[in-house]
Structure 1
Amino acid sequence: MGDWNKQASRNNNIQPDLSFKNEELTEKKIQLDVQEQIGMEALARKKRMYDLAVNNFFS
């Protein structure tokens, strides 16, 4: 049990690696921005299709 406690104590004291590179963060932000834009365009298309369907149904 003592060995387990020592290992658990060491694991709890491990510091996270916070050394991010600016280039990687910039690339990730660009990727997320593109995904958001694609999502917004898809929502706009769905709304247009819904509006057309509603207009055709009631005309």
Structure 2
Amino acid sequence: MPDQEEPGERRAADDAQRRRRRAQFLRELNEARALRERVQPRRARAARMRQAMRMRTFRW
């Protein structure tokens, strides 16, 4: 039967598919952030400032 694959092959295919979906999601997320920044520059700037403040006050 064709769907009787080795477990390692199936896992590698699942991992590759998961990585493709994750890469697509991250691309769309970055695109949405860029769009939001263009549409609402003041709010995006405030969000960047808050993030910068969080990073400055973070203790290693």
Deviating 4+ runs (over 2 angstroms): 16-19
Equivalent residue in structure 1 for 2:12, among 21, 27, 46: 27
TM-score (structure 1 length as normaliser) = 0.61
Distance 2:3 2:36 in 1: 48
Letter of the 2:30 counterpart: R
Distance 1:27 1:55 in 2: 41
Percent identity reads 7
Letter of the 2:14 counterpart: K
TM-score (structure 2 length as normaliser) = 0.60
**What is the aligned-residue RMSD (CA, Å)?**
1.3
1:45 is aligned to 30
Unaligned runs of 5+ in 1: 1-15
| Offset of residue 55 of structure 1 | 1.3
Structure with the bigger RCO (C-alpha within 8 Å, sep 6+) is 2
What is the count of residue pairs matched by the alignment? 41
